[in-house]
Amino acid sequence: AAGVIQSPRHLIKEKRETATLKCYPIPRHDTVYWYQQGPGQDPQFLISFYEKMQSDKGSIPDRFSAQQFSDYHSELNMSSLELGDSALYFCASSLTRNTEAFFGQGTRLTVV
Amino acid sequence: DQQVKQNSPSLSVQEGRISILNCDYTNSMFDYFLWYKKYPAEGPTFLISISSIKDKNEDGRFTVFLNKSAKHLSLHIVPSQPGDSAVYFCAASANSGTYKYIFGTGTRLKVLA
């Protein structure tokens, strides 16, 4: 079965650079979520989209932005990267809310 | 403010025995709960979920129990297998116009052969 696809899997950036993470949800899933997981921490909710509209916002820095496109894929744009942005970034999708959310394999971002 | 808590950071269980992972929540608006299994550097894998209209849901070796009055849920794994060794997260969501799942802090389960 098709799963959530994230790219790239690994990304190394320097401080103050920008990064773009991509997420391709499971077909027919209309809701996409982004999470950040630092070392030894639980996944922290960043932002979600339902039917291409932003639906919820969590602890997402102003330096980050995201959008969901007409084909339902989503991109997380991160600017002015800081060392503290180094983390695993997960995308998940679900068939509307309050249903099972399935996660991608994540993107490991390292800021040096 | 941690709305979903897993008070046991780690748990060790002998192979073949029952593993019980616990989760507490504070937000009474939560009405849908999920359990995920996670290996290092991989995405969480969905295991089982439960809606607040139920108090039990079973899928193979996994059973989730929900006690709404106590704001507590638990995941039972019977029998435990070495391949179950991973970090387990509970997550919760509220069907009140929000689109997000709040995760607990995780419990590292080690199943001993």
* B5-64: pLDDT as tens digits: 999 999 999 999 999 999 999 999 999 999 999 998 889 999 999 999 999 999 999 999
In angstroms, the separation between the Cα of residue A68 and the nearest Cα of chain B is 14
- Asked if B108 and B11 touch (Cβ cutoff 8 Å), the reply is yes
In the prediction, which pLDDT does A104 show?
96
pLDDT in tens, A36-90: 999 888 899 999 999 999 999 998 999 999 999 999 999 999 999 999 999 999 9
A59 touches chain B (CB under 8 A): no
A45 touches chain B (CB under 8 A): yes
Check CB contact under 8 Å for B31 and A98: yes
- Asked if A104 and A25 touch (Cβ cutoff 8 Å), the reply is no
Cα B38 to Cα A31: distance, rounded to the nearest angstrom: 21
B113 touches chain A (CB under 8 A): no
Cα nearest neighbour of A99 on chain B = B32
Cα nearest neighbour of A104 on chain B = B43
Encode chain B in three state secondary structure.
Answer: CCCEECCCCEEEEECCCCEEEEEEECCCCCCEEEEEEECCCCCCEEEEEEECCCCEEEECCEEEEEECCCCEEEEEECCCCHHHCEEEEEEEECCCCCCCCEECCCEEEEEEC
Cα A71 to Cα A22: distance, rounded to the nearest angstrom: 13
SS3 B83: helix
Q: For A42, which of B45, B46, B103 is closest by C-beta distance?
A: B103
Check CB contact under 8 Å for B99 and A56: yes
The residue whose two tokens read 């027919």 is: A28
